[in-house]
Chains A and B, each alone.
Chain A
Amino acid sequence: MECAYNVGTMAEVLGTFEQAVLLEVLRLRDEAYGRAILKAVQERLERELAAGAVHATLERLEGKGLLSSRLGPGTDIRAGRARRFYRLQPAGVRALNDARRTFNNIWRGVKCPVTALL
């Protein structure tokens, strides 16, 4: 079956971390800026992350056309420095749907949690 986003290679194109970042952008909606996304992904994955890893992923996803960004005003706590707000693009929505479909297909017919020992 041909994927809408990228012909047949969805799982290779969108990694788990990229999916986590895209999903947090989706959940945060109008509040999706760098630091908020970092905190949300950390909470979701239950581990501390390098801020740079999230920023690099956001930059990569924007480069692929899955996200767009705009600058917003800064606040006192960040010394007035601007915030970059991210928004999911139609290609990003398709990518997430394709990734989910691929995930479901892979797991179809297997009970979770897997108990069989090889």
Chain B
Amino acid sequence: MNTPHSDARPPRWAEAILRVLLKPHDRETVSGDLLEEYRDTIVPARGRAADLWYIRQVAWYLLRASWMWGTLMGAALVFRYLLDTLVPTADYRMRASVLSWTILCVCMLAGFVTAWRTRSMRAGVLASTTSATIAAILSIVGAATMLAMWHDPATLEEWRRSGGLDETFIDVPLQLIALGLMMGIPGAALGKGLTSRVTLSG
């Protein structure tokens, strides 16, 4: 029997993200479980706030696919800031180069692994971009914490020499997100392509 809420729909974009992030094996069953819970329990109990519940459930899947890569990149960035603050050098190019390659590889890996697992390129790009966003937030928090701890004129001068506050709080986070999007595409294409090859040969 249909209940009054049996045709209620969660936000379409959230449902689309959820389905993309799920393995093909779980796509129908897990999205069905969430839809059933949404219609049968959450909408009658919470009304319009039910959409927030649904978005939180989808965010769980997105974070599950991205938090590890995001934390890895965020830690690399904070480590670089810490190194620049505590062990200043005359030439920052080597450090910048190592950090850039680390971030490029991790973004590609995030895209690759997620696309491989879900067989979806969109999922790979989404995970890579979200990972980069997590890293950007962590780097801002880390840099702000360091500045709160060490803000004497000599340290601030070293920060200026290694790129400056604008770079730390604006340029790097924005570039990170753009990199996450750009590097997620080849990573995801590789993951999806390889899955298809394995499936075909299997």
Contact = CB atoms under 8 A, between A and B. Distances in A.
Do A and B originate from a single complex? Answer: yes
B32 A82 contact: yes
Contacts of B26: 55, 59, 84
Contacts of B196: none
A52 B2 contact: no
Given A51-B57, A76-B2, A81 B29 contact: yes
Q: Is the interface of B mostly helix, strand, loop or mixed?
A: helix
B33 A77 contact: no
Interface stretch (B35-43, B120-128, B156-164, B183-191): B35-43
A56 interface: yes
B175 interface: no
B3 interface: yes
Contact of A79 (B32, B60, B61, B64): B32
A71 B36 CA distance: 16
Interface string A63-77: 000000001001111
Interface residues of A, number: 23
A83 interface: yes
B28 interface: yes
A50 B56 contact: yes
Contacts, number: 67
Interface residues of B, number: 22
**Chain A binding surface SS class:** helix
Interface in B60-112: 60-61, 64
Contacts of B40: 77
A52 B57 contact: yes
A81 B31 contact: yes
Contacts of A53: 60
A42 B30 CA distance: 17
A38 interface: yes
Contact of B30 (A55, A74, A77): A55
A51 B10 CA distance: 15
B29 A71 contact: yes
Interface of B: 2-3, 6, 26, 28-37, 39-41, 56-57, 60-61, 64
7 contacts: A51-B34, A77-B6, A78-B35, A78-B39, A79-B32, A82-B29, A84-B26
